[in-house]
Structure 1
Amino acid sequence: MMHQPSSEAWMSMNRYVEDMAVTTLLAPRLAYFVAVARHEHVTRAAHELGVPQSTLSRAMVRLEQDLGVTLFARKGRTVALTTAGRTFLASAEQALTEIDRAAESVQQDADPAAGKVAFGFLHTLGSETVPGLIRAFRADHPRIRFSLVQNYGEAMLEKLRAGELDLCLTSPVPDAPDLVARRLDEQRLRLVVPDDHRLASRKRIRLAEAAEETFVTLEPGYGMRRITDDLCAEAGFTPKVAFEGEEAETLRGLVAAGLGVALLPPPAVPRPGVVELTVTAPRAVREIGLAWLDGHPDTPPVAEFKRFLLSRRGRLIPELDPSVG
């Protein structure tokens, strides 16, 4: 059974519809009104705007009728603002200024040579990978600007859907009907243990050998948490989680303090106090993918950066794991 909206909801809805109706009526006439108000002369304003004088005169009459107030005191083709007209002029000029600023902003962002790309990426790609990518891209596009957002995968996908990001590097590679995603590369994951751990003398390990260990992991909802749980399940156990965090290097610190072990991508620089073991079974990797909103048109700078990233498939992040291969 459908619920009927409350009286308050109906009133709010009606006010919204009425406000939109008034805005639709007024918006096309604001520039006309401001020109007439500034010149205080219909003929000169019509000449500036490039419209017939009769058209401008009728538009001002209709504007006053729609508002239900007199904006001009008329003497032939000369006009003077009334008190209401002066009040309306201040807000009309402000509205047109904001529209001009918005138009200039979106035009600048879409400029092929100097536009802006809103780009999201995982925290673990922020130290080396993303700065290196942007440096390489800007060698040929030195004026393109970036708005950078670091976050976990699901949060970035929501920002894509909200129009706050143009592109994002994430893991796992998303599979959603409203998104387009391309696998670009993979990182081999390591089992990170304290340097005084019983396994610290090893170079390689099967993940099943860590079944009795206490793990520190990222929080549920993070891609690495899902990958950790899946790999442990494939190895035949459910990890005993002692601590959950939001950032990989914090987890390395917890490992160094002897609070557990962790499955993590390789660090940008070695961290003292831990040993990082190659996991031989199961195959412990995370895929890195590029995602964007399906059907969302790209501005020229976004299209160019997308082409650049796709061209680096298979060599996106080699610097993060020199032991691979």
Structure 2
Amino acid sequence: MDFALDPDITDFAASIDSLLAKSDMPSVIRAWAAGDSAPGTAVWGRVAGTGAAALLVPEEAGGAGATAVEAVTALEVLGRHAVPGPVVESVMVAPRIAAALGGDSEFGDVAGGLAGGALASVAAPGVSPFAPDAHAAQYLWVVDDDEVFTGTADESRRSVDRARTVTTPSRGGRVAAHSTADLINHGAIGTAAQLMGLGQAMLTMSVDYAKQRKQYGKLIGEYQGLKHQLADVAIALEMARPLLWAGALAIAENPGDPEAAVRDVSAARVAVADAAYLSARTALQVHGAIGYTLEHDLGLWLTKTRALQTAWGTQSYHRGRVLDSLEAAR
């Protein structure tokens, strides 16, 4: 089967990429890490203006009524630019909760708020227990055992990614029923898309640096060993990409049966996270110690990649889901 994205989707992703390329993201990320979320929320407002925040919001609620395929396309670009904040929770998970709440919930027009750029943070005890950047979110929920509860942020602590805080929210009242597996699927595939973007960005940084840095009078990019390392990263990312699309398609084609998408989503999450982590390790080797300093931009991408390795399920958790799905099918 020949799979290719619709040109409208690629053009949409390119428009987001162009917007973020002009936004001086390293400065925005550093401001967020320093406690000033205003530049970051301003960027998010501009991203929402492109329609990215409304992708999974139904058309009748003011959204685009798109599928996980379009959302993954947008999230890969957001990952490539390391956009701070609860991005996956706002784009992928919260619209599903908003649909369960309905249009006349006690929280008002949640779907319309998300489409307009409101941020949301979500925790799933046992799988993804930490709610990211709850201080910047308008909505905070806890999902467990196929139910959705309000959340109250407890004391926040800084993640390994300095531009990311996490909290274990206290569970409040029940507000809706919704499949936890469906929300985990959306969170996991969204995180995988972010990691794909991060991995590609670090590979680009590494290649560019290898073309400029000299040792012993020779560009380091001319050394065969380093070429092999960068090629391994490129191969890992490209081999993981079809799994990413397969996971998104599985969600899109089984809207009422989240269990049918579990295997493909978790396989994508494992493959992409491994590839992104390889990209991060290789980037640090190529750049040397300067790549991990606060002064160098690469560190912003390295630490975000590390933080997202356990977001919406660890690698062991997702490997277990794949195994369980295969055994059930057998």
TM-score bracket for this pair, using the shorter chain length: under 0.3
> Which of structures 1 and 2 has the bigger CA Rg?
1
Q: Could you state the TM-score of these two structures normalised by the residue count of structure 2? A: 0.19
Specify which structure has the bigger relative contact order, considering alpha-carbon pairs within 8 angstroms and separated by 6 or more residues: 1
Going by fraction, where is strand more abundant, 1 or 2? Answer: 1
Going by fraction, where is helix more abundant, 1 or 2? Answer: 2
Q: Could you state the TM-score of these two structures normalised by the residue count of structure 1? A: 0.19
